[in-house]
Amino acid sequence: MDGALKYLIFVVLGSEFVLQISAQKYELTDAEGNFYSPGYPIGYPNNLNVEWLIRLPNDTHRVFLRFTQFSTHNNNDYVRVRDGNNSSPIVWTLSGKQSAGAYVLDVLSSGHELHVQFVTDASVGASGFYADYYSATGEEELIAFHGKFTSPNFPANYTNNDFRLWVIRRPVDYDVIMFKFSSLETEACCDNVEVRTETGILGTYAGAVQPLPAFTIFNSDMIVRLHADRMVGAKGFSADYVFGKHYNVDRNVGEILSENYPGDYSNMLVEQWRIQVLDPSKAKIHLLFRDFKTESVHDVLQIFDGSDENAPLIGNHSGSTIPPQYVSSGKFLFLRFTTDVGVTRTGFVIRHEAVAADFELPPMRFRFSFHIN
């Protein structure tokens, strides 16, 4: 299947020239389990050629394989993964060391079999790998520009023995995913919902989760995973996402326009700008609004005094009042514009300029009106 295996990350091609001295083969036929390289975690022997064939008891399911630890002598000792049995094509060759932290390698087969082979050469070892596998009932790809999805049967309970994935896959030219749960509850002891990006796990949730997690993902697809054990369900989850665009603004002076200005912007829009001072003689950014019209309350421009949304929020504007001028405290400003499902306006034009450290906003000018008789 086309969607198989494509979100495995971390690939270094290995050498094919290996002296094979010993060969071992294992077949794993349970619905879930784990396996690891010989000697793990102390270290694997030289001259290995070990094979594991995972064959799920349910032939409509797919193998979800996760390497939770992976460290081999780069290039010389490697793991090959075949999407099927030992005669299927090699889809991944893995070698080297994975990054620390929540980084893990996931593989999803297209059928109910997956073949893993571990080959080592005559010198230099490492700790090896540890892997878990599960019987996945399915994968759903979410590619609409925005959407809502839920666990099966929501708000009634999900079914037992369910291991299921939702992949939120960005369209070309979209860099941002804004994601939030609107409901999230699993059996606290034994079932969970996990959220990950291509580079790491963002969170694993169980029980009645509060506050509801929300994420803004940059430059990655997202995967949401439900894992239910053999008994006791809960209502599961409901979630929304929307794709957005990110712009790096690195000119000294210019204008930022909302989408389609002076035409109306779109509904369900996410646009963000990271403005950065590159000129070494400048230290701050000055913003001046030339035009501003959005749907009050629902279509909002936020201004953060830093490089992303974790920086202090210094502006939050909607409606048709021209916002005040802003000056950043440092070399970055981050702007985010989000719109809701209905009612659009023309949006905004904002002039930005890199300014010196001693720049200050000009004093307020009073407006005089004259009556000419």
Query: Which residues contribute to the site for Ca ion (CB under 5 A)?
Result: 187, 190-191, 228-229, 232, 295, 298-299, 339-340, 343
Q: Classify residue 208 by its DSSP letter.
A: B
Find the shortest distance in angstroms from Cβ 264 to Ca ion: 10
3-state class (DSSP) for residue 205:
strand
Closer Cβ to Ca ion, 190 or 257, answer by number: 190
For residues 338 and 265, give the distance between their C-alpha atoms in angstroms, rounded to a whole number. Answer: 10
Residue 214 CB neighbours (<10 A): 12
For residues 194 and 287, give the distance between their C-alpha atoms in angstroms, rounded to a whole number. Answer: 40
Bridge partners (DSSP) listed for residue 55: 113
Closer Cβ to Ca ion, 318 or 328, answer by number: 318
Find the shortest distance in angstroms from Cβ 230 to Ca ion: 7
For residues 306 and 294, give the distance between their C-alpha atoms in angstroms, rounded to a whole number. Answer: 24
Query: How many residues are present in the chain?
Result: 373
Closer Cβ to Ca ion, 91 or 269, answer by number: 269
Find the shortest distance in angstroms from Cβ 224 to Ca ion: 17
Find the shortest distance in angstroms from Cβ 295 to Ca ion: 4
For residues 37 and 204, give the distance between their C-alpha atoms in angstroms, rounded to a whole number. Answer: 26
* Non-local CB neighbours of 360 within 8 Å, separated by 6+ positions: 327
Query: Which residue type occupies 172?
Result: V
In the block, residue with structure tokens 């094509």: 89
Find the shortest distance in angstroms from Cβ 208 to Ca ion: 14
- The answer for 262, left when phi > 0, alpha when psi is -120 to 50, beta otherwise, is alpha
Closer Cβ to Ca ion, 298 or 351, answer by number: 298
Closer Cβ to Ca ion, 105 or 224, answer by number: 224
Find the shortest distance in angstroms from Cβ 259 to Ca ion: 13
Closer Cβ to Ca ion, 80 or 345, answer by number: 345
Closer Cβ to Ca ion, 51 or 187, answer by number: 187
Bridge partners (DSSP) listed for residue 117: 51, 80
Q: Is 303 exposed, middle or buried (0-12, 13-18, 19+ CB in 10 A)?
A: buried
Find the shortest distance in angstroms from Cβ 247 to Ca ion: 21
